Amino acid sequence: MKKIISLALICATTSLMALDGEHAYLYKDPRIMGMGGANVAVGGYSTSVFSNPAGLASIKKEHGFVFDLLGLGVSVSEKTTEFIKDMGDVDTSSSNPNATNDMIDVLKKYSGEHFHMGVDNYSAISKNSDLFAWSVGLLAAADINYKVHANGGSSFLETSSRTYGGVLLGAAKSYSTDIGRLDVGVGLKFIKQISFEGGLTINDLLASDDIATRLEDKYKKESTGFGGDIGATLFPFAESSLHPAVGISILNIGSMGMDDNYGRQPMTLNIGMSISPEVPVLESFTLAVDYVDMLNANKVRFYDINGNVDADLDESDMKKRLRLGANLGVLDSTYLSLALSGGIYQGAYTAGIDLEFLLFKLNVATYQEEVGTGTASNPDRRYMAKLGIGW
């Protein structure tokens, strides 16, 4: 209670404004986001290294080497294209005497709204053999986030943006125990990033050089980091038709070396449960629930009225940590497979479609990111798609 009262007083006296309420991440797989982001106890993909490396042991052995190549993914907020168009329509030339007022009008139109754009590629080679499962992946990504403020005389545009990439290694092994199969996994990652974080004033937005140049001059920061991951998944009651599983993971062990910048990766403790009952009309059916960041390691970053980083405050919103999802395998043949998914992520619905035809894979999903806090909701509906080649 004291922390909430203190925060309210700080905001009232110094006009602090929050942008970075989004939980830290490196990669969001549309196949997983479509089912509410729940994967700690599910696994089965090369991208399981981002939630629980033990999930690599659930890759189907009969698939042999699994190649996920050239998977170009994009994500965008609901109103981003409209916002970019309106900003671009403002005549910022010196011949327009109303340029400042025109820009303020656009900011007022979108005041308080959050916008996201992202592009990524995660290519990996994986294999689950009789000895152990492994995966080697290369990540390249960028995301741009804007939040508009236009209250009184403090009109400006905040941004948290980054370009980043690196190498991720994962391995997992299955053990037979008295209480069921136990998968244990480990992961290692090296990430390098360039981040931009702060505010752009009206003068910045009206400058003769472009916004990217202004961001680089004012806020560019470079950082690198190493991290480790461990995880386990237990499959008790082997004879049960529900095929239950319980998973736990600890991600980003050790310092990633990026704590002071946007894109920081705190160490998180995550748990999950799933069941996979056999349904006669479906090829597969999975229900899953996750609770991530159990120790509340993620923070909310606040900025002063000039857009400069002011403070990182604790955030413990349970709704932002709970994930529920379902995946329905409709068709699974040699040349064509189709799966549908849905779920609840941070209190809002998700949906996805996963289609594979010959060597081509198409994954589309929608989810809603809560970039505010439990006491100040700021939902950001996003749409994502990934097209790649794999076998």
Digit-by-digit pLDDT tens for the chain (391 residues) are 333 333 333 333 334 455 557 899 999 999 999 999 999 999 999 999 999 999 999 998 887 899 998 889 999 998 899 998 998 899 888 888 898 889 888 888 998 888 999 999 999 999 999 899 999 999 999 999 988 877 655 557 888 899 999 999 999 999 999 999 999 999 999 999 999 887 777 877 887 666 667 667 778 889 999 999 999 999 999 889 999 999 999 999 986 777 778 888 999 999 999 999 999 999 999 999 999 999 999 988 776 655 566 677 788 889 999 999 999 999 988 889 999 999 999 999 999 999 999 889 999 999 999 887 665 678 899 999 999 987 7
Query: Given this model, what pLDDT does residue 304 score?
Result: 64
Query: Given this model, what pLDDT does residue 10 score?
Result: 30
Query: Given this model, what pLDDT does residue 63 score?
Result: 79
Q: Is the pTM of this model over 0.85?
A: yes
Q: Nearest-CA neighbor of 263 among 295, 225, 320, 292?
A: 225
**Token pair in block for residue 108:** 């007022």
Strand partners for 201: 156
CA–centroid distance for 106 within its chain: 28
**Token pair in block for residue 42:** 């599910």
Is residue 59 within 8 A of residue 45, CB to CB? The reply is yes
Question: Within 10 Å of residue 1's Cβ, how many Cβ atoms?
Answer: 5
**What is the Cα–Cα distance from 162 to 3, expressed in whole angstroms?**
30
Query: Given this model, what pLDDT does residue 61 score?
Result: 86
Is residue 262 within 8 A of residue 197, CB to CB? The reply is yes
Q: Nearest-CA neighbor of 163 among 146, 185, 187, 139?
A: 139
Q: What CATH code would you report for 2-390?
A: 2.40.160
Query: Given this model, what pLDDT does residue 12 score?
Result: 33
User: Domain coordinates of the chain in residue numbers?
Assistant: 2-390
**What is the Cα–Cα distance from 103 to 221, expressed in whole angstroms?**
28
- Collect all residues with Cβ–Cβ distance below 8 Å to 238 and sequence separation of at least 6: 180, 181
Sign of the alpha-carbon torsion through 40, 43, 49, 53: positive
Query: Given this model, what pLDDT does residue 355 score?
Result: 96
Report which residue type is found at 53. Answer: P
CA–centroid distance for 300 within its chain: 16
E runs forming strands in the chain:
17-20, 65-77, 114-128, 133-151, 154-177, 180-201, 221-235, 245-253, 268-275, 284-291, 299-303, 309-314, 322-332, 336-345, 348-357, 360-370, 379-390
